[in-house]
């Protein structure tokens, strides 16, 4: 069965410092990887997905199939980045279509101090 692991429950950095939220997955097939974010008093929402290969709010994430990782990075953290971050995985079928089920990690609470 697929599994997503976020080893850090809490992560604290100072404003302007680089930040990396770790995500490892276990699945032998082709996965789709996502990062979701939940800001205080807001709904859980999609931050980015690996197939888009885009930078959102300064965050990037690269899928490393060799290391089965999808770490989220930002070179200069801002206070407004403080939130709960979830890494998630969805399975891809052989034809490229997807199963609907999304498996989430345990989440990492990021706190950016002024």
Partner 1 sequence: DAGVIQSPRHEVTEMGQEVTLRCKPISGHDYLFWYRQTMMRGLELLIYFNNNVPIDDSGMPEDRFSAKMPNASFSTLKIQPSEPRDSAVYFCASSPLGPSAGELFFGEGSRLTVL
The alpha-helical segments, DSSP class H, found in the chain are none
* Residue 86 CB contacts under 8 Å (≥ 6 apart), including other chains: 6, 35, 36, 37, 38, 44, 104, 105, 107, 108
Using CB under 8 A, which of the segments 13-21, 29-37, 61-69, 74-82 binds partner 1?
29-37
Contact between 28 and partner 1 per CB under 8 A: no
Q: How far is the CB of 80 from partner 1 (least distance, A)?
A: 20
Nearer to partner 1, 16 or 57 (CB): 57
The contact set with partner 1 (CB under 8 A) reads 6, 32, 34, 36, 43-46, 49, 86, 90, 98, 100-107
């Amino acid at each position: 069965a697929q599994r997503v692991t976020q080893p850090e429950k809490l992560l604290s950095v100072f404003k302007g410092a680089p930040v990396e939220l770790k995500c490892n997955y276990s699945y032998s097939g082709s996965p789709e990887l996502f990062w979701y974010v939940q800001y205080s008093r807001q709904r859980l929402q999609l931050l980015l997905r690996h197939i888009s290969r885009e930078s959102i709010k300064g965050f990037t994430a690269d899928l490393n199939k060799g290391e089965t990782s999808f770490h989220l990075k930002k070179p200069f953290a801002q206070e407004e980045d403080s939130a709960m971050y979830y890494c998630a995985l969805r399975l891809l079928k052989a034809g490229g279509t997807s199963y609907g089920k999304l498996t989430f990690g345990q989440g990492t609470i990021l706190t950016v101090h002024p």
